[in-house]
Amino acid sequence: MDEDEMQEVCRLLGSAVIDSGLLEHRITHLTVRLTGKPRDKLPMQVRRRIGLCQGAADKLEPAWLAAEMKKVLSEADGVIEDRNYYVHGQWLIDCPPDEDEPGFLAVYDRLRNRDEPVSVAKLRKLGEDIARVQRELIRVSGRLPRP
């Protein structure tokens, strides 16, 4: 991996962190709206907040709205899990002693017990997925009845 690729990896990872933070913020507000719980009484982990929303979505009417909400929440859970993989993973950089640039960049996948190479393409797709889920969450949330 050359220096330009490494800079792009860092830029894309930073964007994914910021964009997923905004997604988490939207999920927090949705959790308050769907459950009626005050924000300070919600669990810290966004994936637990998603679970609360999914439970509350079961009660939504009409049924198609409940199904759409559960689908987008499931997608949100998936992109948050993917983001966590990179953000909280064990990063490995193999830099040969006679070279200035890393030859290998990976994140340890503890579920598969192997190192997964990091690429610009994978991080770009993660960013695109976060943006898509965020747009979909806004669209579906906009169909909720007014409180």
- Here the tokens at position 26 are 């939207």
- Helix (H) / strand (E) element for 147: namely none
pTM greater than 0.85 (yes/no): yes
Tens digit of each residue's pLDDT (9 = 90 or more) over 26-69: 999 999 999 999 999 999 999 999 999 999 999 999 999 999 99
What confidence score (pLDDT) does residue 74 get? 98
Q: Is the pLDDT score of 102 beyond 60? A: no
User: Is the Cβ–Cβ distance between 108 and 85 less than 8 Å?
Assistant: no
Q: Is the pLDDT score of 100 beyond 80? A: no
What confidence score (pLDDT) does residue 91 get? 83
Domain boundaries, the chain: 13-87+120-141
Question: Is the omega angle on the peptide bond into residue 62 within 30 degrees of 0, that is, cis?
Answer: yes
Taken as a whole, the chain contains a residue count of 147
DSSP notation for 65-118:
HHHHHHHHHHHHHHHHHHHHHHHSSEEEEE--TT-SS-SEEEEEETTTTEEEE-
